Amino acid sequence: MNTKLLLEHLKKNPFVLAPMAGITDHSFRTLMRQLDSSVVVSELISANGIEYENQKTLDMMGFDEIQRPIAIQLFGDDPEVIAKAAQFVESKNVDFIDLNFGCPVPKVTKKGAGSAMLKDLEMFAKVLRAVVKAVNLPVTIKIRTGWDQNTRNSVEVCNIAFNEGITWVAIHGRTRSQNYEGLADWNYIAEVKSHVKIPVLGNGDIHTPEQAVQRLKQSGCDGVLIGRGALKNPFIFSEALQLWQGNSTLESFPLQKNYTWVLTELNSLYSRHSSEQIREIQLKKFAAWFSAGFPGSAKFRKDIFQLEGPEHILEASINYFNLLEKTLQEDTSQEKFLMGGHG
Residue 215 in contact with ligand FMN, rule: CB under 6 A: no
Nearest distance, CB of residue 228 and ligand FMN, angstroms: 3
292 backbone dihedrals φ, ψ, rounded to 5°? -55, 130
Which residues partner with 74 through β-bridges?
45, 99
Instruction: Report the alpha-carbon distance of residue 148 to residue 175 in Å, rounded.
Output: 5
Out of 6, 10, 16, 20, name the contact with ligand FMN by CB under 6 A. Answer: 20
Q: Is the dihedral of CA 23, 158, 202, 192 positive or negative?
A: positive
- Among this protein's residues, is 158 annotated catalytic? no
Residues 219-258, one symbol each (x = binds ligand FMN by CB under 6 A, - = not), give: -------xxxx-----------------------------
Closest CA to 82 of 124, 42, 115, 118: 124
Q: Which stretch binds ligand FMN (CB under 6 A): 7-15, 17-25, 188-196, 315-323?
A: 17-25
Out of 175, 178, 203, 242, name the contact with ligand FMN by CB under 6 A. Answer: 203
Nearest distance, CB of residue 29 and ligand FMN, angstroms: 12
Instruction: Report the alpha-carbon distance of residue 86 to residue 289 in Å, rounded.
Output: 33
Out of 21, 32, 189, 243, name the contact with ligand FMN by CB under 6 A. Answer: 21
Residues 127-146, one symbol each (x = binds ligand FMN by CB under 6 A, - = not), give: ---------------x----
> Under a CB-based contact definition with an 8 Å cutoff, are residues 72 and 61 in contact?
yes
Catalytic residue among 35, 103, 243, 263: 103
Toward ligand FMN, which CB reaches closer, 291 or 318? 291
Contacts of 326 (CB under 8 A, 6+ apart): 254, 255
Instruction: Report the alpha-carbon distance of residue 7 to residue 14 in Å, rounded.
Output: 9
> Under a CB-based contact definition with an 8 Å cutoff, are residues 94 and 70 in contact?
yes
Q: Write out the binding residues for ligand FMN, residues 157-176 only, by CB under 6 A.
A: 172
Nearest distance, CB of residue 60 and ligand FMN, angstroms: 10
Nearest distance, CB of residue 309 and ligand FMN, angstroms: 26
Helix (H) or strand (E) holding 41: strand 40-46
Residues 72-101, one symbol each (x = binds ligand FMN by CB under 6 A, - = not), give: -x--------------------------x-
For residue 310, whether the previous peptide bond is cis, meaning omega lies within 30 degrees of 0, is no
Strands 139-144 and 96-101: parallel
Nearest distance, CB of residue 204 and ligand FMN, angstroms: 5
Residue of minimal Cβ distance to ligand FMN: 343
Nearest distance, CB of residue 326 and ligand FMN, angstroms: 26
Residues 42-61, one symbol each (x = binds ligand FMN by CB under 6 A, - = not), give: -xx-----------------
Neighbour-count burial of 129, counting CB atoms closer than 10 A to its CB (0-12 exposed, 13-18 middle, 19+ buried): middle
Closest CA to 119 of 144, 155, 145, 146: 146
Contact residues toward ligand FMN (CB under 6 A) are: 18-23, 43-44, 73, 100, 102, 142, 172, 203-206, 226-229, 338, 341-343
Write out the catalytic residue numbers: 103
